[in-house]
Structure 1
Amino acid sequence: MIDLANPTQIKALLARHGFHFSKALGQNFLVNPSVCPRMASQCGAEEAAGVLEIGPGIGVLTAELSRHAKKVVALELDSRLLPVLTETLADRPNVTVLQADAMEVDLAALLAREFDGPVAVCANLPYYITSPLLMRLLESHLPITAVTVMVQKEAATRICAAPGSRDGGAISLAVRYYAEPHVLFAVSAGSFLPSPKVDSSVIRLDLHAAPPVTVQDEALLFRVIKAAFAQRRKTLLNALSAGLGLPKAQISAALRAVGVAENLRGERLLLEDFAHLADALAAPSIEA
């Protein structure tokens, strides 16, 4: 039996299969024996119909998830890892490994085919794909109860930033439209093989049954948020005018209509403020 927390045994396993780490895929495998049990126990596996894992690597987290979940479906992009996973998960009958790109696969069809109800998502994500993959999971309106992921510590701070705080950004507000974010615990760089240059954090996003704000045009809301933070040192008046391509007079009128000062920066606004502002910009009376 391979000890998946033992770097020497992991290196021997990978060498046996002729595997070499890919920097392009951001591959860093967890070897800290305390991390994966905590992720698996806190991801909501027991309350869901199963768990969708993205990027199982050599199966360290997958094995722990299988102890808590009725079924685990793991999506692995790198075909070189499939024989490795066949070996490491041989004694896990409730695990299905599929070669697929989580950014390309039809997730709705996959979840409907593999599970008989809402699922929890759990993943140790490569840093380069964190934001786009999280937003794909959230925006697709999938039957997901929670998303628990390990991300770069700095990204975790930004994603889970309190509303109206300086740490916040467009991703913070976009996430809060769909879910309630929480930082669960920190993970040191030494927990991985090979070790990355930065520490990580595990976060959990509990999806809302419905958005916490109502808005006439959801797409416009996200355009306004993105524009407000695209040049975050600019005032809202200048940032929104530049980002949305609208006359300053129109932006000024919308800001006045919702009681927001022109010289504020986007980081000072709450999600509710952005919703009101998007509705004001969509109103015919505000159009230039």
Structure 2
Amino acid sequence: MTHSDTAGSARLLTPADIRRLADRLGVRPTKTLGQNFVIDAGTVRRIVRASGVAADDVVVEVGPGLGSLTLALLPHVRRVTAVEIDRTLAAALPDTVREHAPDLADRLEVVTADAMRVTGIPGPEPTALVANLPYNVAVPVVLHLLELLPSLRRGLVMVQAEVADRLAAGPGSRTYGAPSVKAAWYADVRRAGAIGRNVFWPAPNVDSGLVELRRRPEPATTASRAEVFAVIDAAFAQRRKTLRAALATLAGSAPAAEAALRAAGVAPSIRGEALGVTEFARIAEHLRVPG
């Protein structure tokens, strides 16, 4: 089935709708929750197109806010599970959908929760993550959901441009770091476009970017994800240090770190930014953490 095979349509929110809705709910976007509401219908349509979702997809949307992206998604997918931390917004979303897309209201499920602490998603297994993520928690939310929901096959998230660069960076890049390697544990990640500031209310003082994630098999390794991530964190905690020095504390000593690196076929004198996720997994296999 394709988008056009699905029944029902939605009237997307206009900037006037959004301000009216916010007034009615007494909602003022807050910096604390990283709220910047998308007020441009063209942008939410673009996100849905770029996400590649189809009629049989079950989408997790984090931080639906007033419902702009939710309404754009509903006609094209089987179900949207919206995870919203703000109780007022979570309570209002079903009414907004009933008003703007009455025949699609049964496709929506709202979970009032912090996406970083959620331990499960009700209903059918989610297959896609599509979200305008709050800037301040974008990386931990993406990593948490990829770990929590192995059924997620793909994702498209809108994040701060700098975060988009970090998530999609490859080894050797200036923006490559722990978020890049951890995201690569789960998925192939790439930049999928840029978004200007004027599509939001309030307009943020930074640009945004779209990031596409496509699930791939995790690296074949005898080390656990937690062990590999501990090596990644240590390697990037002090970027300018060689791996021999950066992993010394984790290994118990610099000579122990050097022995593990040599056993993994990695030169002790290089830095973490030169390695991909498979090399970090190999190091973790040879690194016996003290205690």
TM-score > 0.5 by shorter chain? yes
1:131 equivalent among 128, 139, 144: 139
1:14-51 C-alpha deviation (Å, 9 max, x unpaired): 11222222221111100122211121123242164411
Contact 1:78 1:99 in 2 (8 A): yes
CA spacing shift, 1:3–1:257, aligned 2, 3 Å: closer
Q: How many angstroms apart in 1 are the aligned matches of 2:283 and 2:152?
A: 29
The correspondence of residues 41-190 of structure 1 with structure 2, limited to 5 A, is: 41-46=49-54, 48-82=56-90, 84-90=92-98, 91=102, 92-93=104-105, 94-107=107-120, 110-111=121-122, 114-115=123-124, 117-190=125-198
Q: How many angstroms apart in 2 are the aligned matches of 1:202 and 1:249?
A: 43
CA spacing shift, 1:267–1:89, aligned 2, 3 Å: same
Contact 2:251 2:287 in 1 (8 A): no
User: Percent identity among equivalent residues?
Assistant: 39
> Which secondary structure does the structure 1 equivalent of 2:153 belong to?
strand
Amino acid at match of 1:232: R
Aligned-residue offset at 1:219: 2.1
**Equivalence for 1:207:** 215
> Which secondary structure does the structure 1 equivalent of 2:198 belong to?
helix
Amino acid at match of 2:254: K
Aligned-residue offset at 1:66: 0.4
Q: How many angstroms apart in 1 are the aligned matches of 2:220 and 2:128?
A: 24
Amino acid at match of 2:255: A
1:217-240 C-alpha deviation (Å, 9 max, x unpaired): 332211111100000011111111
1:196 aligns with 2:209: no
Q: How many angstroms apart in 2 are the aligned matches of 1:254 and 1:83?
A: 53
Amino acid at match of 2:119: D
Contact 2:221 2:285 in 1 (8 A): no
Aligned residues: 277
1:42-100 C-alpha deviation (Å, 9 max, x unpaired): 32421644111111111100001002101112122111224542442112322222322
**Equivalence for 2:6:** none
Which runs of no fewer than 5 residues in structure 2 stay unpaired?
1-9
Aligned-residue offset at 1:12: 2.3
Amino acid at match of 2:230: R
**Equivalence for 1:21:** 29
1:228-276 C-alpha deviation (Å, 9 max, x unpaired): 000001111111113x152111111122223322221110112222122
1:227 aligns with 2:234: yes
TM-score by length of 2: 0.87
> Which secondary structure does the structure 2 equivalent of 1:261 belong to?
coil
Q: How many angstroms apart in 2 are the aligned matches of 1:12 and 1:141?
A: 36
CA spacing shift, 1:85–1:218, aligned 2, 3 Å: closer
CA spacing shift, 1:71–1:259, aligned 2, 3 Å: closer
1:113-138 C-alpha deviation (Å, 9 max, x unpaired): x11x4521111111111111111112
1:262 equivalent among 268, 276, 285: 268
Which runs of no fewer than 5 residues in structure 1 stay unpaired?
none
Aligned-residue offset at 1:281: 1.6
> Which secondary structure does the structure 2 equivalent of 1:147 belong to?
strand
Q: How many angstroms apart in 2 are the aligned matches of 1:253 and 1:50?
A: 47
Amino acid at match of 1:102: A
CA RMSD of aligned residues (A): 2.3
**Equivalence for 1:279:** 285
Contact 2:189 2:214 in 1 (8 A): yes
Amino acid at match of 1:105: V
TM-score by length of 1: 0.88
Contact 1:30 1:193 in 2 (8 A): yes
Which is further off, 245-254 or 152-161?
245-254
Amino acid at match of 2:96: T
CA spacing shift, 1:29–1:181, aligned 2, 3 Å: same
